[in-house]
Chain A
Amino acid sequence: AQSVTQLDSQVPVFEEAPVELRCNYSSSVSVYLFWYVQYPNQGLQLLLKYLSGSTLVKGINGFEAEFNKSQTSFHLRKPSVHISDTAEYFCAVRSTNDYKLSFGAGTTVTVRA
Chain B
Amino acid sequence: NAGVTQTPKFRILKIGQSMTLQCAQDMNHNYMYWYRQDPGMGLKLIYYSVGAGITDKGEVPNGYNVSRSTTEDFPLRLELAAPSQTSVYFCASSYDRRGEKLFFGSGTQLSVL
Contact = CB atoms under 8 A, between A and B. Distances in A.
A94 B99 contact: yes
Contacts, number: 59
A99 B90 contact: no
B101 A46 contact: yes
A99 B48 CA distance: 10
Interface in B39-68: 40-45, 48, 50, 58
A32 B90 CA distance: 22
- Determine the interface band of chain A, counting residues with CB < 8 A from chain B: 20 to 34
27 contacts: A6-B42, A9-B40, A32-B100, A34-B100, A36-B102, A41-B106, A41-B107, A42-B107, A43-B90, A43-B92, A43-B104, A45-B104, A49-B100, A49-B101, A90-B42, A94-B98, A99-B50, A99-B97, A100-B33, A100-B45, A100-B48, A100-B58, A101-B99, A102-B45, A103-B42, A105-B40, A105-B41
Given A32-B100, A43-B107, A103-B44, 13 more contacts: A36-B102, A41-B107, A43-B92, A43-B105, A99-B98, A99-B99, A101-B99, A101-B102, A102-B45, A103-B43, A105-B42, A106-B40, A106-B42
Interface of B: 4, 31, 33, 35, 40-45, 48, 50, 58, 90, 92, 94, 97-102, 104-107
